[in-house]
Structure 1
Amino acid sequence: MQFEATLRKMTTEIGDPIQYYMIFDDNFINVNQLLGKEISIDLLGSQCLNCLKSKKVFRQGFCYDCFYKSPMVGDWIMRPELSTAHLGIADRDLDYETQVQITPHIIYLASSCEVKVGVTRGTQVPTRWIDQGAEAAIPIMEVPNRYLAGVTEVALKNHFVDKTNWRKMLLNDVVDVDLEEARAKLQDLLPGESREFYDLKPQTVMKLSYPVLQYPTKIKSLSLEKMPNFKGILTGIKGQYLMFEDGTVFNVRSAEGSVVRISVY
C-alpha cells in the first residue's frame, strides 16, 4: 500500500482510543490501523499550503512570502493577546480576523507532564487538547473573543506553564493532578477584564486515551530534511507525533507542506 501526498496535520476523532487520520486530496489513511506495521516515509519535495506552489516551506506549512502575508499566520495566532479585531483594527485582513477572533474562546487547564494553561476556539475542543497530547483537560471559562482569552492566559502563565514539554509527553512522563481542584483555586488570579465570565459551577474533566502500543524509553526526532528516507515500525500516536519502535518520533504537524511517499509493508 502506497500513498503520495502533501502532509497536513492529522485529523482526529474522539474515542477510546482517539482515532487519527491523514487526509489527502483523493484518499486518506486511518493511522491507527498502521500500528505494529512497518512503514516508510520518503521526502519528495515541498508545497506551500497557502499558495499551493512547489516552494520551500518556511514555517507552519507556508512559504516565506505567504507566511508574512497571509492572515492565517499573523502574530495573534501564537499570541492571542495581540488580537485587535474586536476594536475594528486589522492586522492583515480584518474580515478574516473578525471571523476567527470574534468567536467564543475557551481558556483551559490541561495535564500531561505538567499542568498547562491554554486558549482555543470553542469549535476546537477537544481537538486542541488532543493535538497537544494532553492526558486530561478542563475548561476554565468561555469568553466572547480571542483578545480576552489571550489576556487571561497571560495572567495565568505566572502560575502555570503554557507550553507542552513534548519529550516528557512522548516518554509518558505524566503527572497525576486534580484539575477540578486546580480550576477552583484560580478565580482570584484572573484579570479584571475577563473575571465576569468565570463560572463557579464545576466543569467536567475530559480524559484522553491515545493509541500507543509501546512508549519509547529514549527518543530521537525525525527531520525529513536531514533524513529524507525513513523506515520503521509504528508503535504509537500521541499529540501530532508518530512513534516508532526504535525510539524515533515524527512530528507530522511540523512537517506540514512536505510532499511525501508513505509506504506500508
Structure 2
Amino acid sequence: MTYQGVLTKMTTEFSQPIQYYLVFENDFIHMNQLLNKTLRFQFVKHQCLNCKLDKPIYRQGFCKSCFFDIPQAADWIMKPELSTAHLDKEDRDLDYEKKVQLQPHIVYLANSSNVKVGVTRKSQVPTRWIDQGAHEAIEIVEVPNRYLAGITEVALKAHVADKTNWRKMLKNDVEEENLVAWRNTLKQYIPQEAQQYFIENNSETTIEFPVLQYPEKPKSLNFEKVGVYEGVLKGIKGQYLIFEDNTVCNIRGNEGSVVSIDIE
C-alpha cells in the first residue's frame, strides 16, 4: 500500500500507549499499526505549510519568505516572554496574536531526558508533553495569557533546564523524578505577577509510548538529503519514528516535505 502527502506534526490520542496518526490532505495512517512493518519513504518535493509552493523549507515547515512574514512563526512563538497582545500591541497580526496569546497558558515541568520547564496553551495539554517525549509531567501555574507564562518560564529556567536532550530521550536514558517535589521547590522563584496562579494540589501525568526497541545510537534522518529510506518501524516517541537500524526520523524536523510511503 502506498500513501503520499506533505509531512506535518503527527496527531496524537492520549491512551496507554499513545496512539499516533500521520494525517495527509485526503487520508491518514494509524502509525501504531505499522510497528514491525517495513516502510519505504521517498522524498518527492517541498511544500511550504503556508503558501503551499515547492520552495526550500527554511524552518518549522515554512519557506524563508513565509517564515519571516506570518504570525505563526514570529519570535514570541519560541519566546513567550516577547508576547505583547495583552498590551494591545501588534507584532505581525494583532488579531491572530490576541487569539493565541490571550488564552489560558500552562507552565509545566516535564521529564523526557531530564526535568525541564516549558510553556504551552492549556488546550495543548497533554499534547505538548507527548510531542516532547516526556514520560511524566506536571503543571506548575495556569495563567491567563502567554506573556505571564513566558516571564515565569524565564525565571524558572535559571533553576531548571529548558531543553530536551533528544538522544537521551530516544534511548529512554531517563530517571524517575518526583515532579511534585520539583514543583514545590520552584514555587519560590515564580515572579510576583504569577504567584497567585500557582497550582497547589495536582499530581503527575504519566505517559507510555509505543516502543518495541529503543535505539542504542540514534542516527537522524532527513528525507530531502537521503532521497529514499527503507526500514522496519520499531517505535514512536515524541514526534520521532524509531527504526530497527537505529535510524530515527523527527517528523517535525521534516515538516513541509512531500513523501511517498510504501508499506510492506
TM-score when normalising by structure 2: 0.99
The one-letter code sitting in structure 2 at the alignment partner of 1:216 is: P
Aligned to 2:77: 77
TM-score when normalising by structure 1: 0.98
C-alpha separation in 2, matches of 1:57 and 1:226: 13
Q: Deviations over 1:200-251 (max 9, x none)?
A: 3x21210000000111111111111221100000000000000000000000
**Aligned residue pair count:** 264
Aligned to 1:151: 151
Q: Deviations over 1:10-32 (max 9, x none)?
A: 00000110000001111000000
Equivalences for 1:105-254 in 2 at 5 Å? 105-200=105-200, 202-254=201-253
The one-letter code sitting in structure 1 at the alignment partner of 2:255 is: E
Equivalences for 1:63-102 in 2 at 5 Å? 63-102=63-102
231-240 or 177-186, larger mean C-alpha shift: 177-186
Unaligned 5+ residue runs, structure 2? none
174-183 or 87-96, larger mean C-alpha shift: 174-183
Aligned to 1:55: 55
183-192 or 26-35, larger mean C-alpha shift: 183-192
C-alpha separation in 2, matches of 1:132 and 1:187: 23
Aligned to 1:34: 34
C-alpha separation in 2, matches of 1:199 and 1:100: 22
1:88 Cα deviation after fit: 0.4
Q: Deviations over 1:107-157 (max 9, x none)?
A: 000112210100000000000000000010000010000000000000000
Q: Does structure 1 retain, via aligned residues, the 8 Å contact 2:139–2:199?
A: no
The one-letter code sitting in structure 2 at the alignment partner of 1:256 is: E
Q: Does structure 1 retain, via aligned residues, the 8 Å contact 2:224–2:257?
A: no
The one-letter code sitting in structure 2 at the alignment partner of 1:56 is: P
Q: Does structure 1 retain, via aligned residues, the 8 Å contact 2:18–2:209?
A: yes
Q: 4+ residue stretches of structure 1 with deviation over 6 A? A: none
Q: CA RMSD in A?
A: 0.7
